[in-house]
Amino acid sequence: MSSQFVTFTLAGVHYGIAMLRVQEVLRGQPRTTVPLAEPSVAGFINLRGQVVLAIDLRTRLGLEPLAAGLEPMMVIVQVDGEPISLVVDDVGDVIDVGGRPLDAPPDTMPTSMREMMLGIYQLEDYLLLALDPDRLTAFEAILYPTPESTRRTP
């Protein structure tokens, strides 16, 4: 596992994604909304001619929306060879966690959030919640349901 993480904040909490998975970081971009999409789908952005899905991480992690008038940032990550934009509050630095141990998320954390995390690094000034981009974006069944996934059993 990579020891370098691109860091960002959401509601004052520090998160990170392995640097090897991050393509680039951008200021907020205009988004085209997707009617009837899952609430965490922030829309599509045009990234130099390529249409890229944008996911609002605040919504995805069950946090309150960003206050009106504040400009979000975007972390473009690679998932299955495709870029996906993660909408975040602010982007920090690239940090090296070195040989620090990766602790499991506490049981008191909501299960939905724990499932999207690799774990937690205890740094000198704060905790870094390491996120898994594959798990963050794994909601294809919600966006593109199959007949089997929508079938109700009596």
Domains in the chain: ranges and CATH: 4-138 (2.40.50.180)
pLDDT tens, position by position, 63-95? 888 888 888 999 999 999 999 999 999 999 999
pLDDT at site 142:
39
* Mean predicted confidence (pLDDT) in 94-122: 91
Torsion of CA 121, 123, 86, 71, to 10 degrees: 160
pLDDT at site 154:
40
pLDDT at site 22:
96
pLDDT tens, position by position, 23-49? 999 998 899 998 888 888 999 999 999
Q: Please say whether the beta carbons of 123 and 135 come within 8 A.
A: no
Which residue, 1, 19, 3, is CA-closest to 91? 19
pLDDT tens, position by position, 132-150? 999 888 865 335 444 443 3
Which residue, 83, 9, 79, 12, is CA-closest to 45? 83
| pTM summary value | 0.84
Residue 110 has pLDDT above 50, yes or no: yes
- 124's tokens: 């000198």
pLDDT at site 7:
97
